[in-house]
Structure 1
Amino acid sequence: MSLRVLNPNAEVLNKSAALHMNINAAKGLQDVLKTNLGPKGTIKMLVGGAGDIKLTKDGNTLLKEMQIQNPTAVMIARTAVAQDDSSGDGTTSTVIFIGELMKQSERYIDEGMHPRVLVDGFDIAKRATLEFLENFKTHVVMGETPDKEILKMVGRTALRTKLYEGLADQLSDIVVNAIEGLVLDHGSRHPDTKRRAENCYILTCNVSLEYEKSEVNAGFFYSTAEQRETMVTAERRQVDEKVQQIIELKNKVCSDNESNFVVINQKGIDPPSLDLLARAGIIALRRAKRRNMERLVLACGGEAVNSVDNLTPDCLGWAGLVYEHVLGEEKYTFVENVKNPHSCTILIKGPNDHTIAQIKDAIRDGLRSIKNTLEDEAVVLGAGAFEVAARQHLINNVKKTVQGRAQVGIEAFADALLVVPKTLAENSGLDTQDVIISLKNEHENGNIVGLNHHTGEPIDPQMEGIFDNYSVKRQIINSVPVIASQLLLVDEVIRAGRNMRKPS
């Protein structure tokens, strides 16, 4: 490597050495992640310092957890993670697309092409591809009642790339229907409380319903048993009065005997208070988590109260059904048929922690894909169909309209797009060349097809219900050429930071 000394501890890579360092970093990261792409992708096992295991195919999880040393690779990883933050998917695609763009560029640079020429071509190709995407996307009218079938297909496409088919299909239904109610991860603490109640008024509160010792160290002396009884009663009176106010409100709103009353409290409720509430027929949950309290008010209506003085029916929420359910050794309380069903809980069960973590990551991606579809009101045909179609468009139409050497940049961009179907084929154990040629031929004949990863034959993604998110595709096409261009235009790397200093 060419070295030029600035000071004894600084290290400089110039011209081709700097460029090749960047290209190799992008290709290295691509090689790590490309085996994860698609439903047939393989799984990575990350082992933490304490020997804890994480099994994942999710590019986002991998890039966040992996210890990446190379600064260029860190930059690419951050772009991909930002992609995930903004649109919820597409991390692996971003990384392999950047890697492929750098790979294609390397061919031309090694033949003496200046990187600036390629970058100009990328810019034209990017704009043309975004225009093409606008025409290629399929509009989906959402309206008041969205088409659940389309949403299920989008969810299934996203989930199958993260989990095996059976579980992914089951989850795609759950993810689409996940607009139901709330689950609180605790049950009631009193044996006489009802386990199931319908038409419930819900009081969400943050009030201490337990006897609290005084802050001051004080001693009480009594001479008769009656005096002691009076003192004990006086100590409890304050708490009992609070409980009584809740019971009075319950009697006021539940006079018809059709309704029930539920108290969900963030602080504690001691056994005597629980007993009083249970006798009055009130279901009481204590020590609810704060995040659940916030969601309860949003889902059930009403407002959270910090004091039981002046309670009015206005501060009560409503739920059609509240019931307790035991799963394994845990008690859960379900709150369903709420006023504003825009919050829900998906309860995940699994044999061990890493399975649950894997399902949780996948559900997050599935939910984001459905949210994107609702917001975009459009989907894009998946299974690599868009990439092959966009390449044909760039080569057959766009390239001819551009004069001079920028054509080379367009060609490099077009060929890099094919990395998605290529990788899908490779991960399915198919012959990459055969697959790409048959896909190209179909597109030349005017058929929009994608790849059937079981047989390697071209398929119609619309018939198979394989749809990608429009916003994810747009984000990838927007960000990848920008990062690749920046990396290609680097012609000097100076390592002179305090932490990078070579040992003297």
Structure 2
Amino acid sequence: MAPKAGGDSAKVNSAVYKDKSKPTDIRLSNISAAKAVSDAIRTSLGPRGMDKMIQASNGEVTITNDGATILKQMSVIHPAAKMLVELSRAQDIEAGDGTTSVVVIAGALLDAAEKLLQKGIHPTVISDGFQQALQMALQVVEGMATPVDLANEDALLKAAATSLNSKVVSQHSTILAPIAVQAIRAVMEPIVGGVGARVDLRDVKVIERIGGTVEDTELVQGLVIPHRASNVNGPHRIEKAKVGLIQFCISPPKTDMDHNVIVSDYAAMDRVLKEERQYILNIVKQIKKAGCNVLLVQKSILRDALSDLAIHFLDKIKTMVIKDIEREDIEFVCKTLGCRPIASLDHFTAENLVNVDLVEEVNEPAGKYIKATGTLRGQPCTNPSLTII
């Protein structure tokens, strides 16, 4: 029989020199990168933690001691270091606090793992040991834990104040803690047949205003739109308002981008202006027929959401109009007011409007904004939401 041709080559391949130090070097490199991230924010932990000043590439300066914010601003390239950044982000989403602590603890665990690796212990054995330590730690923490009654406002205030003590605004915790507790209690939904409550933080919108101090922070049981009213001579305060949210424009339609209309005759120009006027007038008549006196208009990209002629007609019928509602804010506006966006003029009827006690334009040194407050009459609010300004 002929000898097998692959026998000698298999022996040669098995005898190829293997660098056994390479896996160890990779592990130490990963640990060193992760520990560097941990050490960078270690000094910002606790009530005596120092704030970090971070300058972005565009020159914007951020001063904070929040772990998630610091790591978000840092340009991390190493894959292992990026895992700590993701860990901090996950902690922020899940609990909203402890973003620095989880990174510091992870760095300490990696430091302990590095010492065990240097003693020749296999990584799998170290990982199994960490899993057993996790189970024991959970038992200890559960034994130390104190059940929190969501109806006990004092306990919730203490928890909120404790979280604020390590933040830049710690000296204002007596003001911000009650606002945070009231906001969460207003939007939380008790779990039927279970323990605790379900809270969607998207139901609480925080609007930043330039000027003023932390003491000016206000909790609004309603909707705040950071825009001024578009009216020229129209109303700026309406009680017992009927609010409509539209997603179509009150302006003359335009041609496609690749087309132009050239009008060279004065008579044709007059007809065009007359048709535009009649087109806008028909929309305004439908708005008045439905009884709407507060109109919210979604921001348009292709053309102006409101023309000057439309604002003139809306002033005539005493309707407050607020334009340029961002597309991503439509869901929050609908949930807060209990309304539905109206996509066409045919659906603009009284049934699609919502009742609000008061809609007013608030004038501040930093600018004007719209505030809609008051109970919604005749419509149960199944999805409560509110705004902090």
What TM-score results when the alignment is normalised by the length of structure 1?
Answer: 0.57
Per the TM alignment, residue 240 of structure 1 is displaced from its structure 2 partner at its CA by 0.3
Match of 1:98 among 98, 102, 106: 106
* 1:264 aligns with one of 296, 300, 309: 296
Kindly provide the CA deviation profile for residues 434-477 of structure 1, in whole angstroms up to 9, marking residues without a partner as x. xxxxxxxxxxxxxxxxxxxxxxxxxxxxxxxxxxxxxxxxxxxx
Gaps of 5+ in 1: 1-10, 251-259, 348-504
- Distance in 2 between residues matched to 1:219 and 1:108, nearest whole Å: 84
Tell me, in whole angstroms, the C-alpha distance in 2 between the residues paired with 1:15 and 1:329: 59
| TM alignment of 1:361-376, pairs within 5 A | none
| Partner of residue 221, structure 1 | 265
Partners of 2:248 and 2:343 within 8 A in 1: yes
**Are positions 1:190 and 2:231 aligned together?**
yes
> How far, CA to CA, are the matches of 1:68 and 1:272 in structure 2?
53
- Cα distance change, pair 212–121 in 1 and its aligned pair in 2 (3 A): closer
Cα deviation, 1:385-415, whole Å, max 9, x if unaligned, reads xxxxxxxxxxxxxxxxxxxxxxxxxxxxxxx
Which of 340, 365, 376 aligns to 1:328? It is: 365
Provide the rounded CA distance (Å) in 1 between the counterparts of 2:283 and 2:228.
22
Partner AA of 1:90 in structure 2: G
1:173 pairs, out of 162, 173, 178, with 178
Task: Measure the CA separation in 2 of the matches of 1:293 and 1:15.
Answer: 52
1:345 partnered with 2:387: yes
Relative to structure 1, the CA distance from residue 94 to residue 270 in structure 2 (aligned partners, 3 Å threshold; closer, same or farther) is same
Cα distance in 2, alignment partners of residues 31 and 222 from structure 1: 75
| C-alpha distance in structure 2 between counterparts of 1:45 and 1:247, whole Å | 54
Deviation, 1:285, is: 1.5
The 5 A counterparts of 1:105-504 are 105-110=113-118, 115-142=123-150, 146-178=151-183, 180-212=221-253, 216-219=260-263, 221-222=265-266, 232-250=273-291, 261-266=293-298, 267=300, 268-339=305-376, 340=381, 342-347=384-389
Percent same amino acid at aligned positions?
A: 27
Higher relative contact order (CA 8 A, sep 6+): 1
How big is the alpha-carbon RMSD for the aligned residues of Structure 1 and Structure 2? 3.0
Distance 1:329-1:126 versus aligned 2 partners, 3 A rule: closer
- Give the secondary-structure state (helix, strand or coil) at the position aligned to 2:293: strand
- Partners of 1:201 and 1:316 within 8 A in 2: yes
CA contact (8 A) 1:201 1:318 kept: yes
Task: Count the aligned residue pairs.
Answer: 323
DSSP-derived class of the 2:324 partner: coil
Instruction: Find 2:40's aligned residue among 32, 47, 64.
Output: 32
CA contact (8 A) 2:223 2:333 kept: yes
SS of the residue 1:332 aligns to? strand
Distance 1:216 1:90, change over 3 A: same
CA distance in 2, matches of 1:298, 1:77: 33
Once the two structures are superposed, what CA deviation does each residue of 1:108-160 show, in whole Å capped at 9, x if it has no partner?
55556555544333222211222333333222233xxx433333322222233
What amino acid maps onto 1:248 in structure 2? K
Corresponding residue of 2:22: 14
Q: What is the TM-score when the length of structure 2 is the normalising length?
A: 0.73
